[in-house]
A and B are shown apart, each in its own frame.
Chain A
Amino acid sequence: MKNNLRNRICFYTAAMIIMGFLGCKDFLDAKPDKKLVIPTQLKDYQALLDNYPVINNSDPGSGEISSDDYYLTDIDYNALSQDYFKRMHIWEKEGLFNETTNDWSQTYRPVYVANTILQALEENNENLKNSINYNDIKGQALFVRARSFYQIVGLWGKAYDDKTANSDLGIVLRLNDDFNEKSKRSSLMESYQQILNDLQSSISLLPSAVVSPIRPNKAAAYGLTARLYLSMRIYDKARLYADSCLQLNNVLLDFNTLSKTATYPFAKFNKEVIYESMIPVPAPINNSRAKLSLNLYNSYETNDLRKTLFYRPNGDGSHRFKGSYEAGANLFSGIATDEIYLIRAECAIRANDLASGLKDLNDLLKTRYSKVNGTTTYVDFQTTDQKAALSKVLLERRKELLMRGLRWLDVKRLNKEGAGINLLRNVNGISYSLPANDNRFALEIPQSLLKITSIEQNPR
């Protein structure tokens, strides 16, 4: 009996010690956190793409801060706590960005998500290719990468010019998930080419219909391509893509259906929205500070509903913006049908197809003017003068698309066309100006980035 017990205890002790030596492989393979996963499945990739705070809700606001749709009073300027915002507002050459989180760091985040997915899809091609969502996810990733690159090139690249694009500085094109890769600036030509390639590929992969505009569809990719060609001043292509986009979705909101008294009259995801994205409003252009350009306000006719739906009087003659498709103070930067109408109209007019161009313009504006007894008070704009048509469509573009993150690229592009738009500010009695085609239209590369990389600063 006693020996029995002794043997048993010896056996168990020895067995446990030997087991310890062998290492219990399975025991140690348990996941330390149930929520952790090594991304290998399409649903993992979709989850990364559905992380809307990173993918959709952190578009850069620097372009809008540097643009001329608003002004600040001296009091509001002085009360800004961040020095870099003050400097950006008056187009300083340097010190425009926060040392850590800034528009550069935020806009490259979706690029890493897209690259991780694209690379994984490449490597697991065999296993995943036959899944129904394969194309969709690949298309989404390409679209997301293209959209980020588009925003980066718009802020840090010069206006696109066919003649100099090969030598002008472009952006850092990250195309894989190696975060140790050394950053190198491509040429402006290469940058735009990469964005166009990504968008081209995504168009054929993306579905026509999606569960929510928070995910891109074919129309979104057509629309973004049109926007890109417009900024490159390749107007025939821009027209073509705008047209393809509107073939899929050409719905316009009738502004007569909206409440004039609501704090924010537009609903998020209203039916004009093709693709949803947002600029979290930075302090200088928050509507509690930013006063909208008075000249612009005065250019609306009295029966133009936008004058009441976009503008909220402050009581002192100035106005704040309330027309965001985000139903709040944040700015809508996504793709909506109104913008695509205006692209198609402008390009048609530039191609001297005034009939088509003015039809688009008039179709859009009809929905923007008040109705009496069901009939619009809007009088169709008609002309045979191409110049007059062009300046009308450009004015309407500005009146329709203010505070949508588009003005900065428009100023750059139109100055290339010879518009000679000089930006002016008056702060604390000092005048500041940003003359047309100035080097500062390509923003400073954040200084904190230059300390850890060897990429080239934009000419200041």
Chain B
Amino acid sequence: MMKYIYTLLFLIVFIGYKPVLAQDQIRGTIFSSEDQIPLAGATIKLKRNGNGTNSSADGTFTLAGFVSPDTLLITYTGYLPIDIPLNNRSSLNDLRIELQRDQYALQEVVVSTGYEQTPKERSTGSFTQISKSRLNEQVGTNILDRLESISSGLTVDRTTDEGGKISIRGLSTIRGPRDPLIVVDNFPYEGDINNINPNDVESITLLKDAAAASIWGTRAGNGVIVITTKKGNYQQKVQVDLNINSTLTGMPNLDLLSQMNSADYIAVERFLYEKGYYENTVNSLSRPVVSPVVELLLKNSNGQLSDDDLNKQLSVLGTQDVRNDLRQYNYQQGLNQQYALSLKGGQTKSAWFLSGGYDHNKGNTDANFERYNLRYRQSIKPITALEIELGLNYTQTNNSNGKLDYAGITNDGSIIYPYTKLADENGNYLPIVKSFRQSFLNTLNNPALYNWDYVPLEDQNLIHNQSKLQDVTANVGLRYHIFKGLSADLKYQYQRQNTNGLNIQQEESYGARSLINQFTQLGTNGQFTYIVPRGGIRNEQQALIESIQGRAQLNYQQIWGKNEVVALIGTEVRKTVSSSSSNRLYGYNDDLLTFGEVDYTKTYPTLIGGGAAFIEDNVGLSQRENRFVSLFTNASYTYDQRYTLSISGRRDASNLFGVKTNDKWNPLGSVGLGWNISNEAFYDWKALPYLKLRSSYGLSGNVDLGQAAVTTISFGSNSPYTGTPRGFFDQYANPELRWETAKIWNIGIDFSTKGNRLSGSLEYFRKVGDNLFGLSPIDYTSGIGFTVVKNVASMKGNGIDLTLNAKIIDKKFKWESQANYSTYKDKVTDYYLESLNGASFTSPQALISGIVGKPVYSIYSFRSAGLDPLTGDPRGFLNGEISKDYNALYQNAKLEDLVYEGSALPTFFGSLGNTFSFQNFSLTARLAYKFGYYFKRESISYTSLFDRGLGNPDYSKRWQKAGDENSTTVPSLVYPANSLRDAFYEGSESLTEKGDHIRLQYITATYNVPKTVLNKWKLSNLQVYVNVNQLGLLWRANKSGIDPDYEYSRSTIPPAKTIAFGLRAGF
């Protein structure tokens, strides 16, 4: 049946075509004898006439100029060389050559740049390849999540980005885009990377230096992650693979949230109440929220509550903690399930791969995520000279909200009171204060109005958030061998990702009730009108990303004598259109699909507050389009397998707005040298049979498409007053703006000891970023704001990447170790600072400090002189004297008054993995570490506590009486709060901590069912595995019990432990 389909397909595509073969050519395919997989990049040479070639990605080769008799020499790193004598009688058309693996040799690594595949031996650039087996040591939904602890030179920066931003070899820009380029099967991936099924990934290659990455041009300044997915191989038996796993996620540790103790919080509210702090709130006509404690205090003041009852009720509240209720009602263990099935096979002229995946994740608050993956790849060789590759991927994901999490329950936008009770002892759900003062709402006894209570545990079931994503990626590639050594590639990819978000607030939900009530117009004699129709509120968002990419490329490869040339030249066109739209319906009934009419052009007095307000229309439309045209070339020349010279060049142009086409082009390039020292005649160091030195230098770039060279305006929603569109400035003319450039120099050695017992590489790199985007302050009399973006900054960075692989014990019991160690340091060499005021460098958040000579992200602090023993005020130094003049200490402090503590980003980091195996058992454990950096711990700010209710457990450690200054650095409570005093303390060195830590990232145990059993079950392999992830810190430098990777904001907490069980089977 399958065969029939192929024949049909073949006929449709190339009907009437009959292959004719040249007589003097040898054609064949190189296979690995072990797993029958075609080998790419093997060297094939004719002994007598010296002609040679390399096998292509599918293992095939064509060699011309055969004159009988001759001997074919085939070499391939990691395999034993083989000689094949050929004569007139030999079949020259369809040689099948199998190579035996050399157990003690280096593994040949073919690195993929997305444009070509190069054997690592001949590359001059910095590549890190991560194999399928290493990726498979972890379990998860997203492939990139696995990279952090296993790749060299890559770290995930959680200091400046809460979700974590992948960074390859640190920064190469200050304010420009910082994400590495992600390439999936030859083309940049424009969709959500979560769409990729990790089980479809064959390998990942990181391109780290200019020689590796500059072929990708302006988007490669931050490095490139090349993901190659699985495909079928020619002449391969049908193989079925199954992977099933379940992951349990523990409960997040809510105790790590910086929430103040309830009794302390109540004490502060009482203190403020006595000072009259809430007077303004209580008196306001807009009826803002008044906390339950303040309501009790008010009742007490009005004589409605006795002192005894007040104290009793307050002490009950003081024992409550909202996190207990959340744990009981809303948090649970998460469960992720993953099923993946793939089939592949191949005949002489075709190969195919088909996979399906299903993921179902249930989060800690019952949110659901479902993903369906379908992937189909087909390679066809209708004639020997032509290969066609087809790919079709479909992904669908469904997300739906679960229950409310800690940050999800708010009152009037601020954080929930710590003593809030969500349900009573009998499990009845309780209302909590939300947007208006509850005691005022209780007086509104009008039948026209909905009940105005907010019961979070009930309300969470009345709001439905769903999003559905569909992604279709289709690609086709043609490779035609024009003549010996020259081939043409045409590639085309179409991707369409459609996201549909739906948010429904049912009529009974608080949001709908409150809005309808707010706009209800109550007349004097019981009449009323509804301005917002009764019913639910339905919000819909649509987002569409469409990308079309095309590439034409000529490849040339020639070996003559000791010379070998590999070159390519090509052009690429890319267009990405992202559009979105949103709309809202009021008075919505989900059962009948009915909705109401609303007048958005008039204001209506609101019920509470009385101010006139519009009804929000929540309608929006946008469309963005990025276009690129690029030209690229890459060439390398190798002499005698000893010396390699490589060059690459690329020009990119984009549709930057308002720039003349000629100015849009940006040339980039690189040059590299490689020296295989171990191939030299003089080299006879037996202990180190492989030694290679390589170096590269080049230019890559970074572009921000949001910038423009002319003043542009953008249109917003219509003005309700005039009914005409409103225009505002989008960009101000910035004609000098150009693309950022990053110069990268890399030098490295690759080595391997005898029998491959110890192998690895050591690299050193330097980066120079020039013309970097920076903010330049502008006189705000200009009326355009405070800063403009200019190419004003530059920076330097350097570092080391060391990778070591060791077979420490290689007997029946095996111990393999793999270590990554990287250093990275950067410093700003030019930057335009808005001010040299000390205060702007001491923020508790890691911000771009931009001080010349110091790291881009630096930690600076005010010198601390401890607390005043009499008052508990924080003290600093002013001209060498102890001082409490906060205006001088904070506002007027200059940079030179500060202490520089160090980088806010790790300056050395890496990972260490150990695998122990015995017979069919294997156990892998991996550590990850980050060292040489600092962070600012969060503490109490009385200003934030009073104004926004943001407390901190440090409150209980505050100075309260003389003598406390010896044991604490937390200042005393003062009223009114002094924002300068708070800011001084928050920026003082008392709160700086070392970030250094070692983390146990994961432990994986596998058991492979022995061959004897497998044969009985007609299986080719069967493996069961357990993966425990996020095991937490083994060691940290700070004594405050903080995980420095999860200290971004007050609501950041470390991820919970996960444990996964799974099995892999092959038929």
Q: Contact residues of A with B, CB < 8 Å?
A: 1-2, 5-6, 9-10, 12-13, 16-17, 19-21, 23-25, 27-39, 44, 46-48, 50-52, 54, 73, 75-76, 78-79, 81, 83, 100, 104-105, 108-113, 115-116, 172, 174, 177, 179-183, 211-212, 214-215, 262-264, 267-268, 276, 286-289, 312, 314, 320, 326-330, 448-449, 451-453
Contact = CB atoms under 8 A, between A and B. Distances in A.
B664 A181 contact: no
A179 B782 contact: yes
B722 A212 contact: yes
A26 B995 CA distance: 52
B655 A25 contact: no
Interface stretch (B389-397, B463-471, B608-616): B608-616
B280 A179 contact: no
B488 interface: yes
A9 B708 CA distance: 39
B784 A83 contact: no
Contacts of B111: none
B880 interface: no
Given A17-B570, A183-B779, A328-B611, A48 B661 contact: no
Nearest to A112: B783
A9 B630 CA distance: 20
Interface in B597-651: 603, 605, 609-612, 622-627, 629-631
A288 B280 contact: yes
Interface stretch (B327-335, B446-454, B726-734, B985-993): B726-734
Given A183-B779, A263-B610, A268 B784 contact: no
A213 B976 CA distance: 43
Given A35-B622, A44-B713, 16 more contacts: A2-B383, A6-B385, A30-B625, A31-B655, A37-B712, A37-B713, A38-B710, A38-B712, A48-B729, A108-B782, A115-B783, A116-B729, A263-B609, A286-B280, A312-B285, A327-B605
Contacts of B383: 2
27 contacts: A2-B17, A2-B383, A5-B386, A9-B480, A9-B482, A13-B490, A17-B569, A27-B629, A33-B657, A33-B730, A34-B625, A35-B714, A36-B730, A38-B658, A38-B713, A46-B724, A50-B719, A51-B719, A51-B728, A52-B719, A75-B275, A104-B780, A180-B782, A211-B722, A262-B605, A263-B611, A288-B283
A13 B488 contact: yes
Contact of A453 (B603, B623, B624, B779): B779
Contacts of B12: none
B192 interface: no
Contacts of B728: 48, 51, 54
A36 B657 contact: yes
A402 to B, nearest CB: 18
A1 B276 contact: no
Contacts of B705: 32
A288 B724 contact: no
Contacts of B732: 179
Contact of A76 (B279, B605, B710, B783): B279
A47 B712 CA distance: 13
Nearest to A33: B624
Top 8 A-B residue pairs of the complex, sorted by shortest distance between their CB atoms: A263-B610, A20-B571, A47-B727, A328-B611, A112-B783, A16-B552, A75-B276, A179-B782
A218 to B, nearest CB: 18
A13 B552 contact: yes
A309 to B, nearest CB: 13
A194 to B, nearest CB: 15
Contacts of A172: 781
A12 B276 contact: no
A32 B279 contact: no
A329 B611 contact: yes
Q: Which of B275, B285, B979 has the most CB of A within 10 A?
A: B285
Nearest to A83: B979
Report, as a range, how many residues of chain B touch the other chain: 35 or more
B779 A32 contact: no
B834 to A, nearest CB: 8
Interface string B502-515: 00000000000000
A175 to B, nearest CB: 12
Nearest to B20: A2
A19 B571 contact: yes
A181 B782 contact: yes
A2 B788 CA distance: 60
Given A327-B605, A328-B609, A329-B611, A47 B724 contact: yes
A395 to B, nearest CB: 28
Contacts of A5: 17, 386, 480
Nearest to B732: A179
Nearest to A18: B571
Interface string B284-305: 1110000000000000000000
Contacts of B348: none
B90 to A, nearest CB: 24
B724 A32 contact: no
Contacts of A79: 276-277, 279-280, 976
B552 A17 contact: yes
Contacts of A211: 721-723
B782 to A, nearest CB: 4
Given A12-B552, A34-B622, A79-B280, A263 B779 contact: no
A328 B627 contact: no
A2 B653 CA distance: 36
B603 A27 contact: no
A78 B976 contact: yes
Contacts of B430: none
Interface in B554-574: 554, 569-573
Interface string B117-136: 00000000000000000000
A141 to B, nearest CB: 13
Nearest to A74: B276
Q: Which of A9, A39, A115, A177 has the most CB of B within 10 A?
A: A9
Interface string B777-814: 11111111110100000000000000000000000000
Contacts of B19: 2
A73 B728 CA distance: 41
Interface string B313-348: 000000000000000000000000000000000000
B980 interface: yes
A110 B610 contact: no
A382 B545 CA distance: 75
A66 B284 CA distance: 22
Nearest to B272: A79
Contacts of A81: 943, 946-947, 977, 979
B815 interface: no
Contact of A37 (B18, B280, B625, B714): B714
Contacts of B947: 81
B722 A28 contact: no
B658 A110 contact: no
Nearest to A108: B783
Contacts of B781: 104, 108, 172, 174, 183, 449, 453
B938 to A, nearest CB: 20
A20 B217 CA distance: 15
Contacts of B65: none
Contacts of B276: 73, 75, 79
A105 B787 CA distance: 12
A104 B605 CA distance: 32
B600 to A, nearest CB: 15
Given A2-B20, A20-B631, A112 B782 contact: yes
Contacts of B716: 51
A28 B627 contact: yes
A314 B283 contact: yes
B783 A16 contact: no
Contact of B627 (A27, A33, A51, A100): A27
A292 B198 CA distance: 68
A12 to B, nearest CB: 7
Contacts of A51: 716, 719, 726-728
B726 A327 contact: no
